[in-house]
Structure 1
Amino acid sequence: MNLPAAHSDANAAANANGTAHDSASVNTFQVDLRGLVDLLSHHLYSSPRVYVRELLQNAVDAATARLAHDPAAPVRIRLTATGSAVSIEDTGIGLTADEVHTLLATIGRSSKRDGLESARQEFLGQFGIGLLACFVVARQIRVVSRSARTPDQPPVEWLATDDGSYTVRTLPHEARPEPGTTVHLEPRPGAEEWAAPKRVEELARDFGSLLPYEVTFAGPDGVVREITDRPAVWDRPYPTPTARRVALAGHCAKVFGFTPLDSIDLDIPVAGVRGVAYVLPAATSPAHRASHRVYLKGMLLTDGADNLLPDWAFFVRVVLDTDTLRPTASRENLYDDETLAAVREALGVRIRQWLTELAAGDPARLAAFLTVHHLGVKSLARHDAELLELMLPWLPFETSDGRVTLDEFVRAHPEVHFTRTVEEFRQVAPIAAAHGLGVVNCGYTYDADLIALLPQIRAGVKVTELDAGAVTAHLDPVGPQQELALAGFLATARTRLDPLGCDVALRAFQPVTVPALHLDDREARHERDRAEAEADADTLWSDILGALRGSAPRARLVLNHNNPLVRRIAAIPDAELAGTAVESLYGQALLMAQRPLRPTDTSLLNRAFLGLLEWATHPTVTTPTATTPPAASSEDQQ
């Protein structure tokens, strides 16, 4: 059956206004209640649990309307569950017989739209779905109501079933002596679990603990228990700041399941927000969508709000109550509009202010926070030069001097070099440290952006990107005579590594234990990738890629003349064996840099390894790749 919508009244009104024509009649839409319930339960609401919220919401709105009509009126809300039925009683504004027909049985119609528009902002309900949403769990809904506006009129009963039919009748005065409304729900088959007393009480506490009116619950045992728990934990008075922190930590553990590293008060009257942000005790990914708990005028709206804070504030979880934000139609999330954008910005300002306060007055707590959440602060500071300057003495960076703050680093190195990848940094960090070259690893999130801002807040600091040439220039050159004596070896080395797009240089540097350093900047990698793509492409693409050939520097293998192994390899008279040894040094340098290996690099490592094994087991072999066993030497015979 379809739910009646008083279409006879609409027709009469249309005829009275002269809007009806001889050729057409005015009709109203008919709504299939079973289809509506399916829509609500499967598409609008995430769970049948919201029916408890609808009951509480209607009762609270009725109480608000009653106080607007009579500020001295008593306000009580009691929820009852027996196992076979659920009911809620309030001393709110109540309904007349005409209002029952008009409001309870009409989709989209709400009493908040009639007569009390001036107080509309005080109501929780916005969409006029009302009690019909309770059909997601109920087979039958019975409403007994008496209007406070017409206290002389008798109470009225509205009885509706899930087939779409309803009846309205007048009851004796004694059926409800006082103004207000009682709603009885009879669960439908399969939904009995949602009417269980324990479940109803849990849901009532979850949704209604911060409601502005006293709400109680009674189960089958008849014991009445408080549901509301006001004021909110962040608004309560405490004897000491320590006691308050302990209480907030307990609240966080109960709501979110973790003990916070710290807490941030969110008292923003302009934004209509009161609450607290809890700082996570462990690092989390910036890409993780945080879930926050939001109350709207004391009623839980959602515990999964993911659009409440700026993206950089991923290190906190928020609980707040607001009277300014707009809910979605399901009242299970926040509508992303200009108001939410303003609140989001205000919350971000408050979190930033908290960081400033810590830096100024509690450096120990700030240091503990940054140990865990420096990434979030870096994300914020890259858009705020003032905050970056404030955080410089605290933000840690990976540098050639170890893990230090930028403030400490620039005092030792007015000229700051940086690498854009972790691999590049690992190549040069040990050598840079030994030769006093200041290098910052900007291969981590946000670090490159912050380094770029450094000259703006530290006068005299120069920031440049590190390349292979700059590193080589800081290494000690080898004497001309020594380099001339090794010209043949260097020629052999360059010939062997040229197919890999790598040059060879000879320098003397520390530490002595490093035989070779592989330097490879972004331009060199781009040129090498282009060359490989050109080699694998067809004629058309090969011509196009060839036209894109640039003059970018190539990768460079810097041999350490201070290293004894390098000097012994340079003295090998056999050019083939010396070339194999250079290939081994190249592979070892790649592994030390922890750089991803290309197929050609892997092939070279395998070839060099096997060649050296062949030479080690047959030292008289002049060519490491020979396949015939050599004749035994006199030393072998001995």
Structure 2
Amino acid sequence: MTQWQRHIPFKVDIAGVIDIMGASLYSRPDTPIREMLQNAHDAIMRRRRTDLDFRGRIDVVQNADEHTISFQDDGIGLTPEDAEDYLGTVGAGITGLIKRSGDVPDSAGGLGDRGDLIGQFGVGLFSAFMLADRIVVESRHDAADHGIRWEAGAGTEIELMELDRAAPGTVVTLYLKPEYRFLSTQPESVEKAIREYADFLPIPIYLNRQAKRVNVIHAAWFEPSQDREATELALQEYFDEAPIDVIPIRVEKPASIAGALYVTPQRVPGFTDQSAVMVTVRRMVISRKIQGLVPAWATFLRGCLELHDCSPTTSREDLVRDDLFERIKSSLEDLIFSHFSELAKSDPTRLEAVVNWHRYTFAGAALENGRLRGLLRHCYRLPTSHGSLTLDEILKRSVADSLYEEEADRVVWYNTDRRQERWVNTLFAEHEVPCVHTFRSFEESLLAQCAHDDNAKGTVTDLRIATPSAPNFATTILGVSDLEDIEPRWREFLEHVNAKILVGSFRRDQPVMAFLNERYELARSFDEMKQRGEIPRGFQRLIESHFKSDVPQENEVILNRNHPMISRALSQKPGMPLSSVMRLIVINALNSAGAATPDSARKQQTDDLDWIAQCLWGKDG
């Protein structure tokens, strides 16, 4: 059996290509405006190569009567051959060929530096069919005697003819579809699109022949040598918020990066939001919210970066995430760290202001970023019994007591319960070591990570909660001796107070000391709500998952065997009147510290008061 073989050409369904571009390639209907401006820009830049005195301009003109919008430039223009070879071929744009050092005619202006050209993919003109059902191009090349007229609808037929045209340049006219005819009547919509994409193009853009250009063109943050004050004012005006701090950016290796970042005054919620900045490539805005470029921990940074060497995606709405992108990302992180490190030396007050304004974002991110922790150690402050101290100051002051500590070089005491802040400050008032108040769990974790960093360097640092059960807390801080668990019979008698009961010896004028654990109180409150059926099932699973990995310790009470009443009560058996008085004192101490009284303890209080009253006055009193 004879096998057959044939060669067939690729076929392109223009209508299908346009549908794909509109549905998948571009996400916004005003994208063709960007593409038309981009083509006009490149035409002007190519003409500048042959005429160093030429500057050029772009005009966008609306015609409500004709339902059209036109894009006019005085750039290099098109020859008949250019129009035939490039305008009707998807993917064969002149600029793209020039940038790829392709085989292009001399008339295309392909000589010289290619770095000022924006186009690349040869699909810009076809994107206009998203908005228009007919496109007319009228152009004359700078070196030609006659112009050309190119016209196409959404089909496959193109009409190309000679045209009398006096001046070089190009006019692209879009005959808008009914649903997009507002672009021929609403100047504000077109102006918004121009500023969205072309605000920084170095060529002036005018709308409807008005005297004032639409685009900004110049921005202080693009200056080779930035003036800090001018950059700050420019950022404030453009982004409509006052920067807390400004980071000028200008490097050429590993790639060209120019612009400025600033610390926003807007507090970013949570630790998972991605940082986003505006990015331009050859001054064309790619996106005002490029993610993944600035470090994930720096969600508080905003600004504008010109990434001349980066490649935009085909849709030109994002950057290609290639090896160059990763090198730029790494370089930016180094620049940001260098800026903050220098600020720590030259202006520590400003750095502390930045950190304080976004302290939760900094602290949360530093849990996973050792380099960031190293920076925060010098400027992140926590409340302590010795006042506000930086992480470094806390660690340096937490020298372990050599009489009691054989292995630890440092012992960092911390308190997690805001209700005990004043009480803990009193306990540590006469001690050289501070107690740190970590009222937010991530700050406790941050402190622990810093201690771990020190341990890795050979300094043994132990983190301990300020509670009697912690090693050496009772002896070194409270001055309590002979601390032990209460006897089982008394533990049973006091079970309704919901606390761990200890017995020790300390100053005679104080019968008890109570220590709370805020997380224990929180867990107990959740448990009571669960029993009453007040917690949604999904939320209950979240609570159980949290406390499963971090089971909170109980509240603790120390009974003072040196106090006459406590000593006398403990010498008797439970159930005597004095034991009921002691139980009331324990519950009152916990209440005074801020603990909630459980229902069982509240009932026990009533019973104890009745029992004491009967003992004092007799049953018939």
TM-score, normalising length: structure 1: 0.73
Q: CA–CA distance in 1 between the matches of 2:370 and 2:557? A: 39
Which residue does 2:232 correspond to in 1? 245
Q: Secondary structure at the match of 1:515?
A: strand
The reply on whether 1:275 has 2:275 as its aligned counterpart is no
Q: Secondary structure at the match of 1:278?
A: strand
The reply on whether 1:216 has 2:200 as its aligned counterpart is no
Code of the residue aligned with 1:158 in structure 2: it is: W
Counterparts of 1:296-445 in structure 2, within 5 Å, are 296-375=281-360, 392-415=377-400, 416-418=410-412, 422=416, 429=424, 433=428, 436=431, 438-440=434-436, 443-444=441-442
Work out which of the residue numbers 10, 17, 20 in structure 2 matches 1:28: 10
Code of the residue aligned with 2:13 in structure 1: it is: V
Structure 1 residues 580 and 289: CA distance shift in structure 2, 3 A: farther
Q: Secondary structure at the match of 1:366?
A: helix
Q: Give, in angstroms, the shift of residue 310 of structure 1.
A: 0.8
Q: CA–CA distance in 1 between the matches of 2:411 and 2:8? A: 79
Query: Kindly, what percent of the aligned residue pairs are identical?
Result: 23
Structure 1 residues 95 and 583: CA distance shift in structure 2, 3 A: farther
Question: Residues 310 and 319 of structure 2 are in contact (CA less than 8 Å); yes or no, is this contact kept in structure 1?
Answer: yes
Please list the CA deviations of residues 92-119 of structure 1 after superposition, one character each: whole Å capped at 9, or x if unmatched.
Answer: 3333334334322332222234355345
Please list the CA deviations of residues 256-275 of structure 1 after superposition, one character each: whole Å capped at 9, or x if unmatched.
Answer: xx222121111123231211
Q: Give, in angstroms, the shift of residue 466 of structure 1.
A: 1.7
Counterparts of 1:506-545 in structure 2, within 5 Å, are 506-508=503-505, 515-517=513-515
Which residue does 1:493 correspond to in 2? 490
The number of equivalent residue pairs is 552
Which residue does 1:192 correspond to in 2? 181
Q: Secondary structure at the match of 1:231?
A: coil
Q: Give, in angstroms, the shift of residue 355 of structure 1.
A: 1.4
The reply on whether 1:138 has 2:132 as its aligned counterpart is yes
Q: CA–CA distance in 1 between the matches of 2:363 and 2:129? A: 50
The reply on whether 1:202 has 2:195 as its aligned counterpart is no
Q: Give, in angstroms, the shift of residue 182 of structure 1.
A: 0.8
Q: CA–CA distance in 2 between the matches of 1:249 and 1:231? A: 15
Q: CA–CA distance in 1 between the matches of 2:44 and 2:20? A: 29
Structure 1 residues 587 and 327: CA distance shift in structure 2, 3 A: farther
Work out which of the residue numbers 21, 39, 43 in structure 1 matches 2:24: 43
Which residue does 1:557 correspond to in 2? 556
Code of the residue aligned with 1:124 in structure 2: it is: I
Q: Secondary structure at the match of 1:114?
A: helix
Q: Secondary structure at the match of 2:44?
A: helix
Code of the residue aligned with 2:428 in structure 1: it is: A
Question: Residues 415 and 436 of structure 2 are in contact (CA less than 8 Å); yes or no, is this contact kept in structure 1?
Answer: no
Structure 1 residues 247 and 567: CA distance shift in structure 2, 3 A: farther
Structure 1 residues 476 and 420: CA distance shift in structure 2, 3 A: closer
Q: Secondary structure at the match of 1:308?
A: coil
Question: Residues 497 and 587 of structure 2 are in contact (CA less than 8 Å); yes or no, is this contact kept in structure 1?
Answer: no
Structure 1 residues 294 and 146: CA distance shift in structure 2, 3 A: same
Q: CA–CA distance in 1 between the matches of 2:392 and 2:194? A: 53
Which residue does 1:169 correspond to in 2? 160
Question: Residues 276 and 299 of structure 2 are in contact (CA less than 8 Å); yes or no, is this contact kept in structure 1?
Answer: no
Question: Residues 292 and 304 of structure 1 are in contact (CA less than 8 Å); yes or no, is this contact kept in structure 2?
Answer: yes
TM-score, normalising length: structure 2: 0.75
Counterparts of 1:446-485 in structure 2, within 5 Å, are 446-454=446-454, 462-466=460-464, 468-470=469-471, 471-474=473-476, 475-477=478-480
Q: Give, in angstroms, the shift of residue 380 of structure 1.
A: 7.4
Q: Secondary structure at the match of 2:448?
A: helix
Work out which of the residue numbers 229, 233, 257 in structure 1 matches 2:216: 229
Q: CA–CA distance in 1 between the matches of 2:346 and 2:161? A: 68
Question: Residues 276 and 301 of structure 2 are in contact (CA less than 8 Å); yes or no, is this contact kept in structure 1?
Answer: no
Structure 1 residues 514 and 302: CA distance shift in structure 2, 3 A: farther
Which residue does 2:532 correspond to in 1? none
Q: CA–CA distance in 2 between the matches of 1:563 and 1:330? A: 80
Code of the residue aligned with 1:26 in structure 2: it is: I
The reply on whether 1:294 has 2:279 as its aligned counterpart is yes
Q: Give, in angstroms, the shift of residue 183 of structure 1.
A: 0.3
Q: CA–CA distance in 2 between the matches of 1:301 and 1:357? A: 31
Q: CA–CA distance in 2 between the matches of 1:240 and 1:120? A: 29
Structure 1 residues 50 and 479: CA distance shift in structure 2, 3 A: closer
Extract unaligned runs of 5+ from structure 2.
102-112, 401-409, 528-550
Which residue does 1:86 correspond to in 2? 69
Structure 1 residues 29 and 499: CA distance shift in structure 2, 3 A: farther
How big is the alpha-carbon RMSD for the aligned residues of Structure 1 and Structure 2?
4.3
Q: Give, in angstroms, the shift of residue 302 of structure 1.
A: 0.4
Q: CA–CA distance in 2 between the matches of 1:565 and 1:338? A: 76
